[in-house]
Amino acid sequence: MKERTKLILIILIFLLAYFLPFSNLRMQGAMFESFTMLQEYARKHVLLCLVPAFFIAGAISVFVSQASVLKYFGAKANKILSYSIASVSGTILAVCSCTVLPLFAGIYKRGAGIGPATAFLYSGPAINVLAIILTARVLGMEIGIARAVGAVSFSIIIGLIMAFIYRKEELQKTEDGKMFELEIEEKRPLAKNAVYFLTLVLILIFASWGKPAQPVGFWNFIYTIHWYLTAVLLITLGFILKNWFEKEELKTWVDSTWTYAKRIFPLLLVGVLAAGFLMGRPGFDNGVIPNRYVIMLVGGNSLWANLFASVSGALMYFATLTEIPILQGLMGSGMGKGPALALLLAGPALSLPSMLVLRSVMGTKKMLIYVSLVIIMSTITGMIYGKLF
């Protein structure tokens, strides 16, 4: 860290300590919300979501060849195939905006084009089948369908726009990656690698399987047996690692996993603290920004209401499925249907913590363009939906 940066941080901390009204009840509540949200995040998401995601990211970096990534997700890859795979990934990975980050970092650093990579980045948390089904059941069939169609469309359109903006840079990256094509020596058949990655993904899915709101049906049945399924998968993974991999490969995998964890995890913690301080936990009105102001600003279907909903959703952190009861309460208090959809399309895919991490992975400019595209498209879609319904 540069000395000037250290000085600026010291000055900022001093100014905060000097001027923040810690005796104010709203400020005290916001501080409590900040650390309580961090605790909830640690209890609900770190062990069961983030840790498996870090191991998957490490596995991508070590066991997925550069040529394979370039073949399916590179700038010269078949567009229909790459965007089709990337845009529906959320139907497999029921993850939040933070859990998808190490997976995105893994494929992006491995050579994936910015277009398919950002399509994957958006679709991972946005196209959650369970969330879409629950949205349709709780908030209405039309908004559930609109969310599904909007999420798939957004992932493709945003990916194509990012690929167009950075087309020269991506083509150069592909040319630079050609040198890896001659160095590939596959140690295992493709089928074994596929089984290995599928096992990791299924562990992530079943270990983090949440309890459904309704204690009946298929989703609840999976919830009742999800730990048994996870145990079977862990045993399967142990067999795979022992019989299919060399010790040196496993050491490299662990080292790669740790690299992602130490780079991403601290930023996530800082972001969760900030989100809790500003907005409070979902369903609690203790953040610095009172909920009544949010509700006041997102009534009706104006441009401002939809834009505010999109920006608020982009800044807030939503754990998987938590956006639905929050919106149910907001809509019951007068939130318009257009802003509700705008928040649904921007919220799960973005958060303040995820922005901090994305900046370190893809750079400030790319991160700002990606965030802006999500907010703009969510705002426009919300306005259109609000006029139709």
Render pLDDT for 223-250 as a digit per residue (tens, 0 to 9).
Answer: 899 999 999 999 999 999 999 998 998 9
Q: Which of 64, 111, 42, 117 is nearest to 86 (CA)?
A: 117
User: Minimum mean pLDDT among 152-166, 168-182, 206-220, 321-335: which range?
Assistant: 168-182
What is the pLDDT at residue 82? Answer: 83
Q: Which helix (H) or strand (E) holds 290?
A: none
Q: What is the rounded average pLDDT for all residues in the chain?
A: 82
pLDDT at 341 over 70: yes
User: Minimum mean pLDDT among 133-137, 138-142, 202-206: which range?
Assistant: 133-137
Q: Which of 99, 118, 97 is nearest to 107 (CA)?
A: 118
- Is residue 163 within 8 Å of 90, Cβ to Cβ? no
The answer to whether position 20 is within a domain reads: no
What is the pLDDT at residue 180? Answer: 45
Domain hosting residue 117, numbered range: 25-181+190-388
What is the pLDDT at residue 179? Answer: 43
- Residue appearing with tokens 């600026």: 8
pTM of the full structure:
0.68
Task: Work out the angle at residue 44's Cα, subtended by the Cα atoms of residues 41 and 45, and round it to the nearest 5 degrees.
Answer: 70
- Which amino acid belongs to residue 285? D
| pLDDT band at residue 90 using 50, 70 and 90 as cut-offs | low
Q: What is the pLDDT of residues 254-300, one digit of tens each?
A: 998 898 788 778 877 887 788 788 777 766 777 887 777 767 788 88
Secondary structure in 3-state letters for 26-65: HHHHHHHHHHHHHHHHHHHHHHHHHHHHHHHHHHHHHHCC
What is the pLDDT at residue 282? Answer: 65
CA distance 42 to 38: 6
User: Minimum mean pLDDT among 35-44, 72-81, 198-207: which range?
Assistant: 72-81
| pLDDT band at residue 70 using 50, 70 and 90 as cut-offs | low
Does 355 or 212 have the greater pLDDT score? 355
The answer to whether position 14 is within a domain reads: no
The answer to whether position 232 is within a domain reads: yes
What is the pLDDT at residue 49? Answer: 76
Compute the average pLDDT of residues 318-336: 72
The answer to whether position 7 is within a domain reads: no
The answer to whether position 372 is within a domain reads: yes
The answer to whether position 6 is within a domain reads: no
The answer to whether position 12 is within a domain reads: no
The answer to whether position 10 is within a domain reads: no
Compute the average pLDDT of residues 146-153: 90
Q: What's the first-to-final CA gap in the chain, in angstroms?
A: 52
- Would you call 208 helix, strand, or coil by DSSP? coil
Overall domain count for the chain: 1
